Chain A
Amino acid sequence: MIEYCVLALLQGGERYGFELVRTLSEVPGMVTSEGTLYPLLSRLRRAGVVETSWRESPSGPPRRYYRLTSSGRAVLEAFSGEWASFRDAVDHFLNQEKAA
């Protein structure tokens, strides 16, 4: 699931690793440890759904920026649709349970 959250975060434009990791870890219940997100970012890059480039930082060492590829955009779009119907299906059963 977190994979798709990363792709969704990149919809608004490119971000660098630390920025992505902090944004995700600040949402409670999303991430257990920040460090494990870096291997996940690497997997997304190898799958071709994000691409990276190094950029100078105003302070400190250069940063690796991540941005969506067109295939990443397509994957995210497909997921959004499936997620909506999955969520509705689960809600359907949860609400049924309540009503019973």
Chain B
Amino acid sequence: MNDSSLHPLAQDYLKRLKKAAASLPRARRKELIEEIEAHLSEALPAAAGETEALNVLERLGKPAEIVAEASTGQAPARAGVNERLAIPLLLIGGVIVPVLGWFVGVVLLWSSRIWTLRDKLIGTLVVPGGLAAAVFLFLVPAGTRTCSGGSGTRRNPATGKLVRFSESNCPSYSTLHVTLVIIAAILLVMLPILTSIYLSRRATRAEIAA
């Protein structure tokens, strides 16, 4: 940009800002100086009087103040690879690699600075194992459980007559029992998903506040 189009006081201000911003990472420093330079060229015509120039600079604030604001969150709480991995691992890690997959998610969750203690407790306890809890408690037993039994006729040894029989070793469930199991299964599926949504929202919010 062409410095000569700026008011002399604005040029002087930019020089002081560049010096104050020396501690910022290069990209952030460049962006800040570009923005302030654009601001000055809009707010302060090159031919403006000294009083007007001083007013514009006063509204803008001291260079040190602006640089201090740009330095907050310099080691920012940004969602990195760890955070992006933690959420899916907590949810389905335990399904892919039982126990260990989920556990790695927990370690990533607790080592992140982006979530608060409360977030971490929710992430760990709702529900331990993530979706694996639902998968291993309900899907796997339902698939592998077989019951043997049958029906037919056999001779009653005492009377010598044929009698009908039917038997099974499957446990019989009451309607209440079945309902409770279905509710528990739905909760075990829904809660880990809701927790994932919650954690990713909290991560976005922490980034904005950083």
- Asked if A34 is at the interface of the complex by the 8 Å CB criterion, the answer is yes
Pick from B1, B60, B61, B78: contact of A61, CB under 8 Å: B1
- Asked if A83 is at the interface of the complex by the 8 Å CB criterion, the answer is no
- Asked if B177 is at the interface of the complex by the 8 Å CB criterion, the answer is no
Interchain CB contact under 8 A, B208 and A36: no
Which candidate, B63-71, B127-135, B165-173, is the interface stretch facing chain A? B63-71
- Asked if A44 is at the interface of the complex by the 8 Å CB criterion, the answer is yes
Q: Which residues of A contact B210 (CB under 8 A)?
A: 43, 47
Q: Given A33-B65, A34-B39, A35-B60: A42 and B70 within 8 A (CB)? A: yes
Interchain CB contact under 8 A, B38 and A36: no
Total interface residues on B, CB under 8 Å, equals: 35
Interchain CB contact under 8 A, B42 and A18: yes
Minimal beta-carbon separation of B1 from chain A (angstroms): 5
Pick from A36, A42, A43: contact of B65, CB under 8 Å: A36
Pick from A40, A60, A78: contact of B42, CB under 8 Å: A60
Q: Which residues of A contact B65 (CB under 8 A)?
A: 33, 35-36
Q: Which residues of B43-64 are within 8 A (CB) of A?
A: 43, 59-63
Interchain CB contact under 8 A, A18 and B39: yes
- Asked if B15 is at the interface of the complex by the 8 Å CB criterion, the answer is no
Q: Which residues of B164-210 are within 8 A (CB) of A?
A: 201, 204-205, 207-210
State A25–B73 Cα separation when bound (angstroms): 23
Minimal beta-carbon separation of A56 from chain B (angstroms): 13
Q: Which residues of A contact B208 (CB under 8 A)?
A: 3, 43-44, 47, 49, 75
- Asked if B5 is at the interface of the complex by the 8 Å CB criterion, the answer is yes
Of chain A, the residue at the smallest CB distance from B1 is A61
Of chain A, the residue at the smallest CB distance from B28 is A42
- Asked if A10 is at the interface of the complex by the 8 Å CB criterion, the answer is no
Interchain CB contact under 8 A, B66 and A3: no
- Asked if A80 is at the interface of the complex by the 8 Å CB criterion, the answer is no
- Asked if B36 is at the interface of the complex by the 8 Å CB criterion, the answer is yes
Q: Which residues of A44-100 are within 8 A (CB) of B?
A: 44, 46-49, 60-61, 63-64, 71, 75, 78
A residues within 8 Å of B by Cβ? 3, 17-18, 21-22, 25, 32-36, 38-44, 46-49, 60-61, 63-64, 71, 75, 78
Beyond A36-B65, A42-B31, 9 additional contacts (C-beta under 8 Å) are A33-B65, A35-B63, A38-B35, A39-B69, A46-B76, A46-B207, A47-B208, A60-B41, A61-B37
